[in-house]
Amino acid sequence: MSFRRLGLSVAIAAALISVPAIAGNKLIPAGTRIAVAKSTLTVQPASEWNKLGARPGRNAETWTLDGDALNDLTFYGGIDAGKPLFREADRKNRPLPTVSATMLITDIPALLESSYRIALGTAAMSIGTVEPVTFAGGKGVRFTYAFTRQGETLHRRGEGRGAMIGGRLYLITYEAPALYYFDRSVAAARQVADSARL
Amino acid sequence: MLTSVPVFAQEKTGLKPGFQLKPGTARIVLLRPSIKVGAQSTGGMFEPNADWTAQARENIAAALGLAQTSLGNIVGDYVEPGNADPAMLAEYQELFDAVAQSVIEYQFFPGNRLPTKKRDGQFEWSLGADVARLPGLAGADYALFVTTEDHFGSTGRKVLQVFAALARVPVTAGVHKGFAGLVDVRTGELVWLNADLQMGGDVRDAEGAQKRVRQLLEGFPGKPADAPVTAVSAAH
């Protein structure tokens, strides 16, 4: 590849990352069953959401009401063994942990915890309660977590539900600032997670 | 400018539809501004600088002090009762920053607007009604949040910018964020916001801080008509 072409493709890639105007966010209407995260996982939201054009990873997508920093409902639709939860920013220096086909359900919150610690550059990420639930028709886990992003002191709370089905990880997380935002849409987020089917 | 950053139409001010503030009708409390100043390393990381931050804090306080009397309403400084928990104010300031960033990203960039926020002239953003519980806001109608964050590009970063420009990669040297927002204490709603990621005025000197404060308070509701601010809004 010539320097010029390389330069151009780098510029395009950089533009795609840094310019949000290209993203194309879509309305998720209430009451319709919809497939998420480019997978066979479906959910049926009872209220409207926005799907962000920017995806956290190939088999992931994020819904929000006010922006992903204020309320973030992310779907991971069947992450294969050997793959990280989301896109790696720096695979060489800060590789993310990967899904394993033999993971136990209790390994799911641990995977999210270590992925966040690396990706967000924060030590302030902790798992709260962990309990078994049925998720998307499989034996799954429901857990709570709390974290702050690097360079911030704003406390965020999260809730996740996941299961290993057919050797793949299915996971739905909801997170928001602990102040006001978490409580405001946690019921809507739980309703979406409750409706998950494979 | 050497960079080839694409120019997109971007809004910088949001006002809740129908919101009006008549001069002399409201009691506004100016919260202690949140100010961060530092350098931007070659890799783009923020390196806080305590001296610059102290200078900026002093300069912006002085500039806000001058501006406060001309906002059309009584704007008093936030006084925290002695037994109050300072962490609560800091948490609300960080929440305000997160909301302001979201407004910039998902409302001010029309192409990236969230579909549920696209409906007619909508401007619905909130910190939650519990903001009224902040000690020091008793009796206030509105709280005025002010945040500035400046990352001055290091020499290495500026050199990178030049080389990146040759390869047509947009690299910005420096971040000069400024957010000013008026929150209705009774509802927690954000009724007015002025926010930009590249503001003018070097907050490390008195004159620059005045320029920054003028820009932050441009279009403040209920403020008597401004002198023309064209010189202020030009890129630094």
Q: What is the DSSP letter of B212?
A: H
CB contact under 8 A, B6 and A67: no
**A164 vs A37, A40, A130, A193, B84, CA distance in Å?**
16, 14, 16, 15, 47
Q: Which two tokens stand for residue B76?
A: 């008093």
Is A154 within 8 Å of B99 when comparing Cβ atoms? no
At A15 the pLDDT is 40
- Chain centroid offset of residue B58 CA: 17
Tell how far CA A34 is from the center of its chain: 17
Distance between alpha carbon B137 and the CA centroid of its chain, in Å?
20
Query: What are A37's two structure tokens?
Result: 């995260």
CB spacing of B112 vs A21 below 8 angstroms: yes
At residue A9, the pLDDT reads 42
Closest to A180 (Cβ–Cβ): which among B128, B167, B170?
B128
| Residues on A contacting B at a C-beta cutoff of 8 Å | 3, 6-8, 10-11, 14-15, 18-23, 25-27, 48-50, 53, 64-67, 69-70, 151-155, 177, 179-181, 184
Task: State residue B218's pLDDT score.
Answer: 92
Q: Determine the residue of chain B that is closest to A27 in CA distance.
A: B115
Residue of A nearest to B167 (CA): A7
Rounded mean pLDDT, B127-156: 91
Residues A37-80: tens digit of each pLDDT = 999 999 999 999 999 999 999 999 999 999 999 999 999 999 99
Task: For chain A, give the mean pLDDT.
Answer: 89
Residue A78 CA to residue B146 CA, distance in Å, equals 44
Q: Which of A18, A50, A66 has the CB atom closest to B125's CB atom?
A: A66
pLDDT tens by residue, B17-50: 889 888 888 999 999 999 999 998 877 788 899 9
Check A153 against B170: CB less than 8 A apart. no
- Inform me whether the pLDDT recorded for B122 exceeds 90: no
**Average pLDDT for A176-198:** 97
Residue A64 pLDDT: 97
Contact A20 B109 (CB under 8 A): yes
CB proximity list for B225: less than 8 A, separation 6 or greater: none
* CB contacts, 8 Å: B112 with chain A: 20-21, 23, 25, 53
pLDDT greater at residue A169 or residue A15: A169
Token pair listed for B224 = 């008597």
ipTM score for this prediction: 0.86
**What does R_g of chain B's alpha carbons equal in angstroms?**
18
* DSSP state string for B48-95: E-HHHHHHHHHHHHHHHHHHHTTSSSEEEE----TTS-HHHHHHHHHH
pLDDT at A10: 39
Whether B35 and B203 have beta carbons less than 8 Å apart is answered as yes
Q: Nearest residue of A to residue B99 by CA position? A: A70
Instruction: Report how far Cα B101 is from the mean position of its chain's Cα atoms.
Output: 10
Q: For residue A180, list chain B residues with Cβ-Cβ distance below 8 A.
A: 95, 126-128, 130, 188
Q: Which of A25, A69, A181 sits opposite B112 (nearest CB)?
A: A25
**What share of chain A in percent tops pLDDT 90?**
79
pLDDT digits (tens, 9 = 90+) for A83-133: 999 998 888 888 999 999 999 999 999 999 999 999 988 889 999 999 999
Q: DSSP state, B108?
A: I
pLDDT digits (tens, 9 = 90+) for B145-165: 999 999 987 777 777 777 777
For residue A117, report the phi and psi dihedrals to the nearest 5 degrees. Answer: -60, -40
Q: Which residues contact B109 (CB under 8 A, 6 or more apart)?
A: A20, A21, B8, B10
- pTM of the predicted model, to two decimals? 0.87
In the structure encoding, which two tokens stand for residue A11, read together? Answer: 């510029």
